[in-house]
Structure 1
Amino acid sequence: MHSDLILGTTLAAAALAYVFKPKKPKTELEASSVTVPVIPTYLPLQLDGVLHYILTTLSGKDEMEFLRNITNRFGNTINFRGFNRDFIIVLDPSSIQHILAKNQPNYEKGPELQAIFHEFLGSGIFNADGETWKTQRQIARPHFQTSEFKDAALINRHVDLLIKAIDKQMAANPGKPIEVQSIFCRFTLDEATEFLFGETVHALKEENSEFATSFNYAQAITAWRFRVPLWRYLLPKKRLLKEIKNLEEFVYKIIDNAMAREKVRVEEKERTPGSEKEEKGKGHATLLDHFLAEQEEHNFTREYLRDMLLNFLLAGRDTTASLLTWTMWHLSQRPDVVDKLKKEILDVVGPTAVPGYDDIKKLKYQKQVVNEVLRLCPPVPFNIRQSVEEDVLPNGYYIPPGTPVSYSAYSTHRLPDLWGEDALEFNPDRWGPERVGSIKPFMFVPFHAGPRICLGQNLAYTTAQVTLTRLLQHYDIKASPGFQPQNLGDIVLFSRNGVEVLIEKKSIAA
């Protein structure tokens, strides 16, 4: 994207905002509350702050640290204003709890955010409010219960393929570091598509699979819509629609096959009296099956099912891939932590046994490590809501109606006031018995909280821990000399340049 074009468009948008923004009298609530501090700027219409942020991202710098440094300077509740429009960022746990739980109905996705995601995600759960969101969540919830994946068979089957893929790379480039971010994205894409759809895209076998390429492009362009003014006119749409069509061809084929199976099942049920009672309470093979079992009541369209599946795929694939990627990075820097993890795995699971859900529950130190990765590298580093009506946060700050309000797990998880002077250090012991009691609600929100808390958090933990256990049974993990990852704060927190680690094949018992 050309920086001159961004600059010119930003100036034009700012001028229009200045000319046409109406001035409104203060309401009684606003007059009795505290105005959120606006970040100081020196150009008209707050152009310098907005341009600084956009150009920081365009130049490949760390936008998450850019935003964290701003809050460090100006406070935990700030107004990052641009074009005379409010954009409020909150970090304190009480405000996050207020937005996500106590007054959750007042903070929706909102029309602006929904427009950004519309072509990609439609009216799926990630992009929905109200009854649409409630219906999808209610139907999907049973599929994410622990009983659906407790034996970890599906996870272990895909870990087998992951290990083969890593071995293949090691054989092709002996002694060279492996870029694990891309391989974890392909691994979780395979696992998620089978868990959700009943069919996998075989991304581990086909490094440049069409589905994976299209999915990555759609996500990247959607993320840029957050940043660029007048994105409808500046960002490429023709290719986006083409890549989305590629996704839809795969998804619609699965939907049509599943609908045909459901039709046969219903016909057989009608021909066999009493079969409905026998089927009641049985689990469904895929998330799609859960929805089709409710088809008679809700009459879901193909488009509705398409939206639902792509939304859950976005949430399921990238968050777990991000968690695994950053776990490998931190472990490569901490051989002492790796040694403790290996000893625990040897004691609890053994050197070669394939772990199940019950084994994972016993790996207490491993859970501490995973939580510490989630603290420093939350898969969704920030999230945005929009206020429906005016409101006042617990700290007394006023929120106007129709205002974007963002909370940043990335920044909140790094506040020394909450986490101590070692807040920026990777320290799994903070989750041990001596310190874990100091971690209060809404200090730690890697999977969000409240009514919209992530349905798949138990699956994410299980997948990450089963995968980590198996990898440490097979390999040693060491730092790649001179390599440093670069934060990329898109929809999900990844590294702009991937994550390189040295992996050596070695038995855990050696």
Structure 2
Amino acid sequence: MHSNVVLGTAVAVVAAAYAFKPKKSKTDLEAKSVPVPELPSYLPLQLDTTFSYIVSTLAGKDEMEYLRNMTSKYGNTVNFRGFNEDFIVLLDPSSIQHILAKNQPNYEKGSDFQDIFHEFLGSGIFNADGETWKTQRQLARPHFQTTEFRDSELINRHVDQLLRIIDRDLTANPDSPLEVQNLFCRFTLDEATDFLFGDSINSLEHENSEFSQAFNYAQSITAWRFRVPIWKYVLPTKKLLKSIETLDKFVYKIIDKAVARQEERERRQSSDEAGTKDEGHATLLDHFLSHQKENNFVDREYLRSMLLNFLLAGRDTTASLLTWTMWYLSQHPDVVVRLKQEIMQVVGPIAIPGYDDIKKLKYQKQVVNEVLRLRPPVPFNPKQSVEEDVLPNGYYIPPKTKVAYSAYVTHRLPELWGKDADTFDPDRWGPERVGSIKPFMFVPFHAGPRICLGQNLAYTTAQVTLTRLLQNYEIQPTPGFQPEPLGDIVMFSRNGVQVRIRKKNLADAI
């Protein structure tokens, strides 16, 4: 039988089954609340709305703007129902606060989310709920305390390498624009692997490393699983599993080295070498390994999942922030002038900025926050309800229902941010106006109990890097270039981000 006939028959059977499925009686809570408005659909299983979105994405259209247009038509709480499954998107700050803080235990990652990420991330913190998540977060928190990177030494070491690579590219191609998205992805991959593993990938020097290519592919195909409800039947898995094998090969080597390092440390402590100076500082991996050693076991698979989870959370988010910052600066020379003036006053033209310097760069922090508002690194965040619930606006949430918020759309709502919500304006974060920004209007790092552990590290990395770039280079637009925003797991540009960079000393530029 022809495959199209089989597919058509299957869809018809499923549609009929849903059409004649007996309706459940309403609960008391449901009867007293309001159902979330659904996106209009005219075909069984909402095939028209589901496939229009997929086709739009495949055509390269901006997914976040698609979502924004739909919510502007149908309201700030909308049910994007597909294949007869609810998918509720909410945008107002009170509802975001409800699911992330006030009633956070009722909104988990959920089984569907975990199924999508399982091969890639296992049971790591990004993909975990309940006690598994709590345990990993408690163990990781000390490593992300400000004191771990207060002197910015690790960050500056990798910025040194970044500047060398930029100088090399400028020497080889002085008249060509620089593709900064790829550059920053490599930079933050090196920094993150060093910070988390104690062993850098060195992808700045080796652009097409197997690890970085495998990591990028695993993330890309996993993102498509969110877009395609029947992903198990239509998306490739063979190449994904090969990519994960490449990741595992590298990560397990790192774990084995850490185990050997700990065993050597224990040997020294039990011998005459106890007073020998220990090499380096403890990595996140060392923290987790020490905890396992205390319990007399080493679970290499658990450690592998933990490392890849923190790498995903830390590497691409900071790369996204730096990429979009460079784009906005290339479009706003007046902002660059103010940034450079502040750097000259606080740091100087050539001094290496430390943590204390960064805290004094107030206008720079405003610029970074405005980039995070317009291009939040995680533009869309899905959850799943455990029990039925009612949002502060009165809408009913059924149990076991997908619920998501979009920082991208909330950050651009005119009723929250004014008529200039789409305008890049760092002064909205200045002392005169910042008081109008209320809680949960601005959620680039999530919020509530699951707020990003690496938030301070991301700010510090971005500001140290930005300071040193502006000490050394002029940033100019690339005529005719426009980025194509991609609302993936992390917000990047489909065609990269090109800016022109010219070598110039900060003191000569202002």
Range class of TM-score, shorter chain: over 0.9
Q: 1:107-148: CA deviations, max 9, x gaps?
A: 000000000000000000000001110111000001100100
1:473 partner SS? helix
Rounded to whole Å, the distance in 1 between the matches of 2:143 and 2:405 is 28
Q: 1:394-415: CA deviations, max 9, x gaps?
A: 1110000000000000000000
Please state if 1:140 is matched with 2:137: no
CA shift in 2, pair 1:394/1:473, >3 Å: same
Partner of 1:60: 60
What one-letter code is carried by the residue in structure 1 that aligns with 2:80? F
Q: 1:357-397: CA deviations, max 9, x gaps?
A: 00000000000000000000000001000000000011110
Mark the runs of 5 or more structure 1 residues left unpaired by the alignment.
none
Q: 1:286-339: CA deviations, max 9, x gaps?
A: 100111111134434000000000000001100000000000000000000000
1:88 partner SS? strand
Mark the runs of 5 or more structure 2 residues left unpaired by the alignment.
none
Partner of 2:191: 191
Residue 433 of structure 1 deviates from its aligned partner by 0.6
2:475 partner SS? strand
Residue 23 of structure 1 deviates from its aligned partner by 2.8
What one-letter code is carried by the residue in structure 1 that aligns with 2:153? A
Q: Is the 8 A contact 1:10 1:229 kept in 2?
A: no
Equivalent in 407, 411, 414 of residue 412 of structure 2: 414
Comparing 340-349 with 44-53, which one deviates more in the overlay?
44-53
Rounded to whole Å, the distance in 1 between the matches of 2:173 and 2:4 is 41
Residue 266 of structure 1 deviates from its aligned partner by 3.0
Rounded to whole Å, the distance in 2 between the matches of 1:18 and 1:481 is 55
Partner of 2:499: 501
Rounded to whole Å, the distance in 1 between the matches of 2:8 and 2:109 is 24
Matches within 5 A, 1:323-362: 323-362=321-360
Rounded to whole Å, the distance in 2 between the matches of 1:204 and 1:273 is 38
Residue 504 of structure 1 deviates from its aligned partner by 0.6
Rounded to whole Å, the distance in 2 between the matches of 1:312 and 1:15 is 43
Q: Is the 8 A contact 1:9 1:229 kept in 2?
A: no
1:226 partner SS? helix
What one-letter code is carried by the residue in structure 1 that aligns with 2:237? K
1:384 partner SS? strand
Residue 201 of structure 1 deviates from its aligned partner by 0.7
1:294 partner SS? helix
Please state if 1:285 is matched with 2:272: no
Rounded to whole Å, the distance in 2 between the matches of 1:235 and 1:332 is 38
Partner of 2:231: 231
Q: Is the 8 A contact 2:15 2:44 kept in 1?
A: no
Q: Is the 8 A contact 1:18 1:45 kept in 2?
A: no
Please state if 1:396 is matched with 2:416: no
Residue 254 of structure 1 deviates from its aligned partner by 0.6
Q: Is the 8 A contact 2:292 2:299 kept in 1?
A: no
Equivalent in 483, 486, 496 of residue 484 of structure 2: 486
Partner of 1:78: 78
What one-letter code is carried by the residue in structure 1 that aligns with 2:72? N
Q: Is the 8 A contact 2:124 2:306 kept in 1?
A: yes
Q: TM-score, normalised by structure 2?
A: 0.95
Partner of 2:441: 443
Partner of 1:105: 105
Root-mean-square deviation (CA), in Å? 2.1
Q: TM-score, normalised by structure 1?
A: 0.95
Moved over 4 A (4+): 5-15, 270-275
Q: Is the 8 A contact 1:13 1:230 kept in 2?
A: no
Residue 34 of structure 1 deviates from its aligned partner by 0.6
% same residue: 72
Q: Is the 8 A contact 1:387 1:401 kept in 2?
A: yes
Partner of 2:363: 365
